[in-house]
Amino acid sequence: MFSRIARPTLCIANRSLTTTSQNNAKVAVLGASGGIGQPLSLLLKNSPLVGELSLFDIAHTPGVAADLSHIETRAHVTGYMGPDQLNAALKGCDVVVIPAGVPRKPGMTRDDLFNTNATIVATLADAVARNCPEAMICIIANPVNSTIPITSEVMKKYGVYNPNRVFGVTTLDIVRANAFVAELKGLDPARVNVPVIGGHAGKTIIPLISQATPKVEFPADQLSALTARIQDAGTEVVKAKAGAGSATLSMAYAGARFTFSVLDAMNGKEGVVECAYVRSEETECKYFSTPLLLGKHGIEKNLGLGKLSAFEENLVADAIGELKGSIKKGEDFVANMK
């Protein structure tokens, strides 16, 4: 059991969090002391793809860094704490992962987090634009449907926006879809792949069960219930934790999976595909999640929506209005920043 944890890689078909290639990438985790940040940092420390791990938060980071630095893997860990050390944390980073922000509590939607998390993400994006503008930026902080437009608009203000390098991490939706489909069909979840498109909140989460591999079919009522469970899975965890937080461990796994895919592609691995919420021309929304072919410089090709079932077409139509509103809310936030 431990051997699988000790030397992980990621490919879509065989999804242990491992990779055989070596690299010396410098990866920053902004929000490294939080419920997602700590397990995410642990998974990144465990990867041979990471040469330097730069951990930033407003509190407790030196302790987290000291703890992780005792692990017998090659990544060198440094902790940075407080606004005065943010610039230093970002110098020379190749990838920046941002789980920072407040978590949901029972009764809250992801959008309820907007005011607090929008300010946090805008501040961090500003620092990225000034210190490592060419880094791959992976945003976990919710509401992702708005925080990606926020990040993009801040980068534009500095003239350093590259849409191929700014990602909203929706991977947890794919991870959940894979797990739930595998559970219902008695399959090995490591061999299931369900694309999930749209956004990362409620009805904007659109699992494409018709495009799943291996091919699976469900009666209409079961398909509807499965889709609803995937869309509401975050709330399922928030309720189960009863005020003690939101999805942190599964999100850390999903964030690590996406980061490893980005690093693998930067390292020259071919055929790396992940879904993510990005600047897009695939629908009438400026930002939309679809499967992406990743390369050395970020998005190599947007693979689009593919062939949708009638049920999935209706889900897309139902999501557009909410997505447009969330995108505008993020853009307006940056336009009105002092």
Catalytic residue (choose from 60, 70, 76, 200): 200
Looking at 127, 148, 169, which one is the last position of a domain? 169
Using CA atoms, how far apart are residues 15 and 190, in angstroms rounded to an integer? 5
pLDDT, tens only, 90-141: 999 999 999 999 877 778 777 788 989 999 999 999 999 999 999 999 999 9
pLDDT at 245: 86
How many CB atoms within 10 Å of residue 304? 15
Comparing 335 with 15, the larger pLDDT belongs to 335
Whether 70 is catalytic is no
Does 2 map to a domain? no
The two most distant CA atoms of the chain are separated, in Å, by 56
The reply, when asked if residue 33 is annotated as ligand binding, is: yes
Single pTM value for the model: 0.93
Instruction: Choose the weakest-confidence range: 20-34, 56-70, 202-216, 310-324.
Output: 20-34
The reply, when asked if residue 255 is annotated as ligand binding, is: no
Same domain assignment for residues 39 and 158: yes
Same domain assignment for residues 39 and 157: yes
The reply, when asked if residue 130 is annotated as ligand binding, is: no
Same domain assignment for residues 179 and 154: no
Distance of CA 118 to the CA centre of its chain: 16
Using CA atoms, how far apart are residues 23 and 20, in angstroms rounded to an integer? 10
CATH number of the domain to which 69 belongs: 3.40.50.720
pLDDT, tens only, 146-181: 999 999 999 999 999 999 999 999 999 999 999 999
pLDDT, tens only, 223-270: 999 999 999 999 999 999 998 889 999 999 999 999 999 999 999 999
Does 337 map to a domain? no
Same domain assignment for residues 179 and 319: yes
- Could you tell me the two tokens for 48? 């041979």
pLDDT, tens only, 210-232: 999 999 999 999 999 999 999 99
Query: What is the residue range of 280's domain?
Result: 170-327
Helix (H) and strand (E) counts for the chain? 11, 11
Distance of CA 84 to the CA centre of its chain: 26
pLDDT, tens only, 268-277: 999 999 999 9
At CB < 8 A and 24+ separation, what contacts does 21-24 make? Answer: 21/48, 21/49, 21/264, 21/267, 21/268, 21/269, 22/48, 22/49, 23/48, 23/49, 23/50, 23/51, 23/263, 23/266, 23/267, 24/51, 24/52
